[in-house]
Each structure stands twice: as structure tokens, then as C-alpha cells.
Structure 1
């Protein structure tokens, strides 16, 4: 299935679960980690367990658990008993070893979506995700925990773009996802009122090769879905390229509308048609 938009909902706010399902998001992430205060985590686990138990067949439901090294981890595992969510979001993941540890702790095989850049050590393990690609449903990154761990004042420039260390983390996640042949999911755009800024951000994400983005508010979902859905002109171009290569199956290079196109253009066209369901 497509994972264009993945909307977070705090586990201790069950009144938001149904609203998240109705938002149009491709997936909803029920959060047991950062959006839930420590005192509220037991109730959040109850809320999430009950909701997933009765809604697992609807919109793809993911559960973000607490980190493997957290004292909350074992209680989160217990809360997963009897559940079959679409995937588990693993924060502060540190490469293939983290995925293997989580997979080995689960009672059944559930896909994992690691957040790949939240600790300094994690940066050096990003390339290992291709070794556990069959356990993944995608790969994503975060721009908040890493600067906090390093004592950086911010990950962003004044114009909203990332400073070089965090742009590197983003790029490495993108490359690692494609190396593992899983969806590359960009991180959240934190100012949910700034939809123009979001459009620019998500446009850049799609341009760079991401296939989806996480969201923190329902108002962001439509913008994200629209950005990651090929429009009519893109589909028409892709169909034309695919047809031109199909007409000349032995050609490595063709001329189309005054441009020379080779096999990378065909791969892009096929990708666009695949995303568009053609």
C-alpha cells in the first residue's frame, strides 16, 4: 500500500484516534513515546491496545513504542500482545541490530519502521538497514532528538532548511531506504499552521526521492497526499515514455519531444505509473 502520509496521534488522547482515521491519512501512528508524559503511559497503552484490537482492519495503524533501552520497552511489548498492527515504529533505532532485537522480541512477525537518526551512534549504522530489509515497511528519520543529544541549539537555519549535519542525516536515510528497497519517509514539518511552508518542504521531499512524510496535525494530510500523488501531466509524460521504449525494446536511448532519454528516464516513468496505480 502507499504510505504518503503518516499522521501521529498521542496514545493518551483517545478522542483523537477516530479523527486521525477520518483525516485521509494513509496511515495513523498511535504514539506511546514522546507525545505521552511518563505518568500517562500506562493509560496510553490501554487506549492503544483497545483501539487497535477493534480497528486493525481499517486505515493502516502503526504503534510507536518507546526505545529498546527504555524502561518502558517491556511494558510496551506487553501491550502489543494479541495485536496485529500494520507496523511498529522504532524510535532511536541504531541500525540492523536494533531491528533484529525488536523483531526477536515480538510474538509474531510485524513490519518495523525505524527512526534512523535520533542518536549520534545511529548515524554510523544507517547503511546496515538493507541487511534487514525484509523486516521493514520503510525507513524514516527525525530532526529533534539528534540535535538535543549533541547540544545543538537547532537543526534548522533561519529559513527553515536544515543545517549541514542534519541535512546529512536526512540524505543518509534517503539513500539507506532506497538501498533497502523500502519507502523513504521524510520527517515531520513542525509548524502545522504554516501550510505554505509545508508545501515547499514536502515538494522538496518528493523531488529528492522520498515517497511519504509524517504529519503531526490532520490539517497537514491533504497537502502531503497531494504532493506525493502524480498529477495528470506527470502521468501523461510517464505513459508516453513507457510507450516509446515499448515500441523500441532494443533501444537504450530514444528521442522524444526533442530530448534524448535513456533507461533512467524509463525507470522514473515506471515509478510514476506504479505510484499512480497504472
Structure 2
């Protein structure tokens, strides 16, 4: 893996906030990049009506050709489905040097995903699992070369399954977390929360996702970014607790230890060390600087 691909892969693997912006709204591109999101998803698919697909491609082509200065998030292009009439044109756009990855909608065919990787081997792939067939094929999809992380398309999956309650998706989301861990991928990205104005509901959903093993969340509005980011960061209380556990383990030696009248066994110590390590890595990962 060359240095640029490794850098792109590492940043997408650690991204916690991924913000969608419609590709036919160029006036929003810089605002999205300034939102604080780890990645901005330039969306050619669901956010763009069929009548505006060509316009969206022209907007994106013009913007991607401009020089970037200073810091920016990772840039990801969400293409249309593999049966899209203008797929070649979309892949050509995604081949721009400033594009850091591709998001693949309704990912379920390993042959299709592998083909995209052969066409654009320098672009990490983020397959959206949002169909029943895609859920059934999670393991095969996750193994395709170029796939760096799984993403949950919860809204489309509810439609495909014919369910109306998000709780019905819990079993399928757990499969994504499980297979990501088994296959050595980073924790997957949770789907969107559609309530833009109910920020408390968003915070609750993001905190719940983190507790269930997700590593980040899709956002549909800039106002969601900071709330999701805070939900996926260790709180000050968690960091203090983790430091005390690690210090106690260092002082008392291996095996179970006593702290505040409770027994702390090895898995708890390892989790505390992971919490501190994640916080340290996050502190060292500002947006990349881009000069042209």
C-alpha cells in the first residue's frame, strides 16, 4: 500500500462524523468542509433528483478541479448504483486527486465492488449495507479488496425489509459490528438520524450507537456534527476513570485489582487503556493540510 492510500485509509478508518452534502448544491461544499466533520460525503445519489444528476456532476467536477488550501476533511463521493447509466462519468469524477474515497450504495455484489476497486485502486471503499441481500452478504462484502469500513444504510434497509420501527434493525446492525470485528475492519459507521431539529434525540442515538460498538455516525446537517463527535469521544469522566484504573493496575501489578472497594479485572483494565489510546490518537489527528 502506497503512502497516500495508507493515509486515506487511516483517516477514513478513524472517522467518527461523516456529513452528507448534495452534489448539486455547490454553495454548501465549503460550509460542509468547515463543519468540523471528519469526512464530507459529496452525494450524487439519493440527495440529487434524477433531473439534476448531470448538473450535480458538472458542479462537482468544477469544484474538485479548484485548488484547496489549508485544512480539510476527507472527501468521499457517493456514486449511484452499479446499474446507473452514467456510472463511468461518476467514477471519473471520483478519480480526482483530492477525493479520498468512494461510498457504494446498496452494496451486495462482491463482483461489482471488486470491479470498482480495479478501476480505482487508490480509493478506499465504504460500502453501504442497506438491503436484505447486502446484510446476507456482509461477510463477503467486507472481504473484498479495497473495502476499509462498513456503513449502515438504515433508512433504505427499513424500506427493503418492510419494517417501520428502527428497533427491528438491531439484529442486523449487530451483525455489522460483529463481522467488522471478526474480519479486522474498524468499527462500522451507523446510519443517519433524520430528526434534524431534535438534537437530544440525536445525542441519545449516537451515544447508544457507541455503546453498541459502532465507531461513528452519518450526519445529514452540519448542526449534527458536533453532537455526534462529542457522543463518540470519551467524556472527561470516562478519561479520569480510565486513568485511575490504569494507574492502579500499574501500581498493583497483573491480575484483578482493587479500586474504590470494587474488583477490577483484566478486561476492564484493557478497556481503560483502549479509551486512553483512542483519545490520544484522536488528539493527534487534525484535518489534513492541502496545498496546491
TM-score, with structure 1 as normaliser: 0.87
Matched, 1:255 2:266: no
Question: CA separation in 1, counterparts of 2:111 and 2:179?
Answer: 15
Structure 2 counterpart of 1:167, from 162, 167, 170: 170
Number of residue-to-residue matches in the alignment: 266
- Deviations 1:130-170, CA, capped at 9 Å, x for gaps: 524x62332111122223334x2x432xxxxx242x22222
After superposition, the Cα gap between the structure-2 partners of 1:252 and 1:136, relative to the gap in structure 1 and judged at 3 Å, is: farther
Is residue 181 from structure 1 mapped to residue 193 from structure 2 by the alignment? no
Task: Name the counterpart of 2:237.
Answer: 233
CA separation in 1, counterparts of 2:178 and 2:131? 18
2:225 maps to 221
Contact persistence 1:144–1:155 (CA under 8 A) = no
Tell me, yes or no, if structure 1 residue 66 matches structure 2 residue 115.
no
Aligned 8 A contact 1:186 1:214 in 2 = yes
Which residue number in structure 1 is paired with residue 57 of structure 2? Answer: 45
The aligned residue for residue 123 of structure 2 is 110
Quickly say closer, same or farther: Cα 1:263–1:33, change in 2 above 3 A: same
Aligned to 1:159: none
User: Which of 213-222 and 50-59 deviates more?
Assistant: 50-59
Instruction: Tell me if the contact between 1:29 and 1:64 (Cα under 8 Å) persists in the aligned partners.
Output: yes
Which residue does 1:88 correspond to in 2?
A: 102
Q: 1:182-218 CA distances to partner (integer Å, 9 max, x unpaired)?
A: 1321100001011111111111011111121111011
What is the SS of the residue equivalent to 1:115? Answer: strand
The 3 A distance-change label for structure 1 pair 96 and 254 is farther
Change in Cα spacing, 1:14 to 1:58, as seen in structure 2 (3 Å) is same
- Asked if 2 retains the 8 angstrom alpha-carbon contact of 1:8 and 1:216, the reply is yes
Q: TM-score, normalised by structure 2?
A: 0.83
Shift of 1:119: 1.8
Partner of 2:152: 141
Give, in angstroms, the shift of residue 252 of structure 1. 3.2
Match of 1:16 in 2: 28
**Contact between 2:148 and 2:185, CA under 8 Å: does it hold in 1?**
no
Q: What is the aligned counterpart of 2:267 among 242, 251, 264?
A: 264
Corresponding residue for residue 44 of structure 2: 32
Q: In structure 1, what is the Cα distance between the partners aligned to 2:185 and 2:246?
A: 22
